């Protein structure tokens, strides 16, 4: 079985992490494979939302596979190459034009947390744990991942997580804004399904435009902000708004043109 694979079902595509013998730790090949899988999901005209989750309950991802460390970090050149592969994987998730949800059940540590932070939203079970232990290995952390961490939970909480290297409970992660929601194990799937159904029911053109707008605001990119505002104005004449307006007035579900493959 491929340790990373897509499972498409209608408007929803799941990117499954399936490496349970190593607690879903990512091998070099898994880091390399992830961007192409995200691209494949994005190119599927039926897909409206992408979910990153484990194929095995009780784990999310334990970061990079320690069994490869000796070869990976044998030289500075190889270490730099491996770091770029990891950063590229996170960048692929962040750049996905679709909303991306991380569904977390169990340990979410190091590179696993970096992947979750590259997603737009994070839902977790109460037994999930979160941490970044790079300092214990004598390492810093990629600036792109630090930026996403600070955006999620603020500078003070990010500093605590990075300096302290302690694992946070799901409730602590919720308090700081690291995750959006925390649910008991039996309720997590239902809560995720409610959110995913709501996203899927909305206009695909709108959710794509909203993602571009959110990223523009987060980056403080003046040009991107202007483009997002222009898109907003133009959408009033678009087919999805016309259908959404008519459906609202007629008290019926909208059949958005952007939902058609």
Query: Into which CATH architecture does domain 4-199 fall?
Result: Alpha-Beta Complex (3.90)
Topology classification of domain 203-259:
Lyase 2-enoyl-coa Hydratase; Chain  A, domain 2 (1.10.12)
Find tokens 């095995």 and name the residue.
Answer: 56
Instruction: Report how far residue 35's alpha carbon sits from residue 236's, in angstroms, rounded to the nearest whole number.
Output: 33
Instruction: Report how far residue 114's alpha carbon sits from residue 149's, in angstroms, rounded to the nearest whole number.
Output: 8
Has residue 66 got a pLDDT over 90?
Answer: no
**Strands laid side by side in the 4-9 sheet:** 4-9, 12-17, 49-54, 100-104, 121-125, 181-183
pLDDT tens-digit map of 112-133? 999 999 999 999 999 999 999 9
Instruction: Report how far residue 52's alpha carbon sits from residue 42's, in angstroms, rounded to the nearest whole number.
Output: 13
Instruction: Report how far residue 167's alpha carbon sits from residue 124's, in angstroms, rounded to the nearest whole number.
Output: 14
Q: Which two tokens stand for residue 176?
A: 């700081």
pLDDT tens-digit map of 184-208? 988 999 999 999 999 999 999 999 9
Query: Which of 26-35, 74-83, 102-111 is predicted with the least confidence, judged by mean pLDDT?
Result: 74-83
Q: What is the DSSP string of 156-205?
A: HHHHHHHHH-PPEEHHHHHHHTSSSEEE-HHHHHHHHHHHHHHHHHS-HH
E strand map for the chain: 4-9, 12-17, 49-54, 100-104, 107-109, 121-125, 129-131, 168-169, 181-183
Q: Which two tokens stand for residue 167?
A: 């694992």
Has residue 1 got a pLDDT over 80?
Answer: no
Average pLDDT over residues 60-66: 90
pLDDT tens-digit map of 145-161? 999 999 999 999 999 99
Where are the CATH 1.10.12.10 domain residues in the chain? 203-259
Where are the CATH 3.90.226.10 domain residues in the chain? 4-199
């Amino acid at each position: 079985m491929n340790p990373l694979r897509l499972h498409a079902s209608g408007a929803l595509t799941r990117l499954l992490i399936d490496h349970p013998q190593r607690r879903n730790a990512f091998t070099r090949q898994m880091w390399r494979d992830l961007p192409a899988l995200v691209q494949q999901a994005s190119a599927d005209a039926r897909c409206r939302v992408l979910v990153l989750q484990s194929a095995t309950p009780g784990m999310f991802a334990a970061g990079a596979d320690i069994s490869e460390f000796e070869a990976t970090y044998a030289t500075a050149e190889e270490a730099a190459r491996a770091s770029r592969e990891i950063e590229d994987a996170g960048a692929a998730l962040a750049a996905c034009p679709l909303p991306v949800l991380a569904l977390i059940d169990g340990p979410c540590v190091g590179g696993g947390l970096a992947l979750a932070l590259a997603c737009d939203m994070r839902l977790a079970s109460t037994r999930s744990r979160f941490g970044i232990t790079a300092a214990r290995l004598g390492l810093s952390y990629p600036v792109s991942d630090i930026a996403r961490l600070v955006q999620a939970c603020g500078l003070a909480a990010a500093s605590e997580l990075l300096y302290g290297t302690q694992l946070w409970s799901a409730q602590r992660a919720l308090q700081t804004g690291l995750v959006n929601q925390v649910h008991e194990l039996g309720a997590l799937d239902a809560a995720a399904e409610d959110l995913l159904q709501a996203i899927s029911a909305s206009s695909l053109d709108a959710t794509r435009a909203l993602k571009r707008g959110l990223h523009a605001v987060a980056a403080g990119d003046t040009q991107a902000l202007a483009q997002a505002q222009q898109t907003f104005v133009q959408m009033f004449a678009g087919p999805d708004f016309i259908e959404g307006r008519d459906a609202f007035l007629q008290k019926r579900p909208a059949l958005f043109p952007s939902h058609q493959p």
